Structure 1
Protein backbone atom coordinates (compact mmCIF):
# COMPACT_ATOMS: atom_id res chain seq x y z
CA UNK A 1 0.00 0.00 0.00
CA UNK A 2 1.27 3.45 -0.74
CA UNK A 3 1.80 6.16 1.83
CA UNK A 4 -1.59 7.66 0.92
CA UNK A 5 -3.14 5.73 3.84
CA UNK A 6 -1.31 4.85 7.04
CA UNK A 7 -2.51 3.75 10.47
CA UNK A 8 -1.12 4.39 13.92
CA UNK A 9 -2.50 4.23 17.48
CA UNK A 10 -4.51 7.40 16.91
CA UNK A 11 -6.22 6.09 13.77
CA UNK A 12 -5.87 6.28 10.01
CA UNK A 13 -3.91 9.11 8.43
CA UNK A 14 -4.85 10.09 4.89
CA UNK A 15 -2.94 11.98 2.23
CA UNK A 16 -5.54 12.47 -0.52
CA UNK A 17 -3.04 14.35 -2.65
CA UNK A 18 -1.18 11.04 -3.09
CA UNK A 19 -4.29 9.06 -4.05
CA UNK A 20 -4.95 8.07 -7.64
CA UNK A 21 -8.53 8.88 -8.70
CA UNK A 22 -10.93 5.91 -8.66
CA UNK A 23 -8.43 3.59 -6.93
CA UNK A 24 -9.60 2.00 -3.68
CA UNK A 25 -7.26 2.30 -0.70
CA UNK A 26 -7.89 0.41 2.50
CA UNK A 27 -6.71 -0.16 6.03
CA UNK A 28 -7.93 -2.02 9.10
CA UNK A 29 -8.45 -0.07 12.29
CA UNK A 30 -10.16 -1.44 15.42
CA UNK A 31 -11.46 -4.52 13.57
CA UNK A 32 -13.10 -2.46 10.83
CA UNK A 33 -12.04 -2.24 7.19
CA UNK A 34 -11.91 1.37 6.07
CA UNK A 35 -12.14 2.02 2.34
CA UNK A 36 -11.10 5.33 0.79
CA UNK A 37 -11.06 6.66 -2.74
CA UNK A 38 -10.95 9.96 -4.54
CA UNK A 39 -13.53 10.22 -7.32
CA UNK A 40 -13.29 12.01 -10.68
CA UNK A 41 -14.46 15.24 -9.06
CA UNK A 42 -11.67 15.01 -6.45
CA UNK A 43 -14.09 14.20 -3.58
CA UNK A 44 -12.75 11.86 -0.91
CA UNK A 45 -15.16 8.99 -0.25
CA UNK A 46 -14.95 6.82 2.87
CA UNK A 47 -16.72 3.57 3.75
CA UNK A 48 -16.41 1.11 6.59
CA UNK A 49 -17.03 -2.62 6.70
CA UNK A 50 -17.34 -4.37 10.06
CA UNK A 51 -18.20 -7.87 8.82
CA UNK A 52 -15.89 -10.10 10.95
CA UNK A 53 -15.38 -12.77 8.28
CA UNK A 54 -14.32 -10.23 5.68
CA UNK A 55 -12.10 -8.34 8.13
CA UNK A 56 -10.31 -11.61 8.95
CA UNK A 57 -9.90 -12.43 5.26
CA UNK A 58 -8.39 -9.04 4.48
CA UNK A 59 -6.18 -9.10 7.58
CA UNK A 60 -4.73 -12.53 6.75
CA UNK A 61 -4.30 -11.89 3.03
CA UNK A 62 -0.90 -11.20 1.54
CA UNK A 63 -2.40 -9.23 -1.35
CA UNK A 64 -3.32 -5.59 -1.48
CA UNK A 65 -6.03 -6.11 -4.10
CA UNK A 66 -8.99 -5.19 -1.92
CA UNK A 67 -11.35 -5.08 -4.90
CA UNK A 68 -10.73 -8.74 -5.67
CA UNK A 69 -11.26 -9.73 -2.03
CA UNK A 70 -14.56 -7.80 -1.93
CA UNK A 71 -15.75 -9.48 -5.14
CA UNK A 72 -14.88 -12.94 -3.82
CA UNK A 73 -16.67 -12.25 -0.55
CA UNK A 74 -19.80 -11.04 -2.38
CA UNK A 75 -19.75 -14.13 -4.60
CA UNK A 76 -19.51 -16.33 -1.51
CA UNK A 77 -22.56 -14.61 -0.03
CA UNK A 78 -24.53 -15.14 -3.24
CA UNK A 79 -23.86 -18.88 -3.11
CA UNK A 80 -25.32 -19.31 0.36
Structure 2
Protein backbone atom coordinates (compact mmCIF):
# COMPACT_ATOMS: atom_id res chain seq x y z
CA UNK A 1 0.00 0.00 0.00
CA UNK A 2 2.82 2.39 0.86
CA UNK A 3 4.42 1.67 -2.53
CA UNK A 4 1.12 2.44 -4.25
CA UNK A 5 0.79 5.72 -2.35
CA UNK A 6 4.38 6.71 -3.14
CA UNK A 7 3.91 5.76 -6.78
CA UNK A 8 0.69 7.78 -6.97
CA UNK A 9 2.37 10.73 -5.22
CA UNK A 10 5.32 10.55 -7.61
CA UNK A 11 2.96 10.46 -10.57
CA UNK A 12 1.11 13.49 -9.23
CA UNK A 13 4.37 15.38 -8.77
CA UNK A 14 5.41 14.53 -12.33
CA UNK A 15 2.03 15.61 -13.68
CA UNK A 16 2.28 18.86 -11.74
CA UNK A 17 5.80 19.44 -13.05
CA UNK A 18 4.65 18.75 -16.63
CA UNK A 19 1.80 21.23 -16.24
CA UNK A 20 4.19 23.86 -14.86
CA UNK A 21 6.58 23.29 -17.75
CA UNK A 22 3.69 23.44 -20.24
CA UNK A 23 2.49 26.74 -18.74
CA UNK A 24 6.01 28.15 -18.78
CA UNK A 25 6.37 27.18 -22.45
CA UNK A 26 3.00 28.77 -23.26
CA UNK A 27 4.09 31.99 -21.52
CA UNK A 28 7.37 31.96 -23.43
CA UNK A 29 5.55 31.46 -26.73
CA UNK A 30 3.17 34.31 -25.90
CA UNK A 31 6.13 36.59 -25.13
CA UNK A 32 7.74 35.63 -28.44
CA UNK A 33 4.45 36.31 -30.27
CA UNK A 34 4.15 39.74 -28.61
CA UNK A 35 7.77 40.58 -29.42
CA UNK A 36 7.23 39.59 -33.06
CA UNK A 37 4.09 41.75 -33.23
CA UNK A 38 6.01 44.71 -31.79
CA UNK A 39 8.81 44.18 -34.30
CA UNK A 40 6.33 43.99 -37.19
CA UNK A 41 4.59 47.19 -36.03
CA UNK A 42 7.96 48.94 -35.67
CA UNK A 43 8.92 47.88 -39.21
CA UNK A 44 5.57 49.15 -40.53
CA UNK A 45 6.04 52.52 -38.82
CA UNK A 46 9.63 52.73 -40.04
CA UNK A 47 8.47 52.09 -43.62
CA UNK A 48 5.81 54.83 -43.33
CA UNK A 49 8.42 57.24 -41.96
CA UNK A 50 10.93 56.32 -44.68
CA UNK A 51 8.31 56.88 -47.38
CA UNK A 52 7.36 60.24 -45.86
CA UNK A 53 10.98 61.36 -45.79
CA UNK A 54 11.49 60.22 -49.39
CA UNK A 55 8.39 62.15 -50.44
CA UNK A 56 9.59 65.31 -48.69
CA UNK A 57 13.05 64.97 -50.27
CA UNK A 58 11.54 64.40 -53.72
CA UNK A 59 9.31 67.48 -53.35
CA UNK A 60 12.26 69.58 -52.21
CA UNK A 61 14.39 68.34 -55.10
CA UNK A 62 11.58 69.04 -57.57
CA UNK A 63 11.18 72.57 -56.20
CA UNK A 64 14.91 73.25 -56.61
CA UNK A 65 14.81 72.01 -60.22
CA UNK A 66 11.88 74.31 -61.03
CA UNK A 67 13.49 77.28 -59.26
CA UNK A 68 17.29 77.05 -59.45
CA UNK A 69 17.69 80.23 -57.36
CA UNK A 70 15.34 78.88 -54.67
CA UNK A 71 16.96 78.91 -51.26
CA UNK A 72 14.98 77.18 -48.53
CA UNK A 73 16.50 79.43 -45.85
CA UNK A 74 15.30 82.55 -47.67
CA UNK A 75 11.84 81.10 -48.29
CA UNK A 76 11.08 81.36 -44.57
CA UNK A 77 11.86 85.09 -44.57
CA UNK A 78 9.13 87.05 -46.30
CA UNK A 79 10.84 90.43 -45.68
Higher relative CO (Cα under 8 Å, sequence separation at least 6) belongs to 1
Q: Which has the higher helix share?
A: 2
Decide which structure has the larger Cα Rg and report it.
2
Tell me the TM-score normalized by structure 1: 0.22
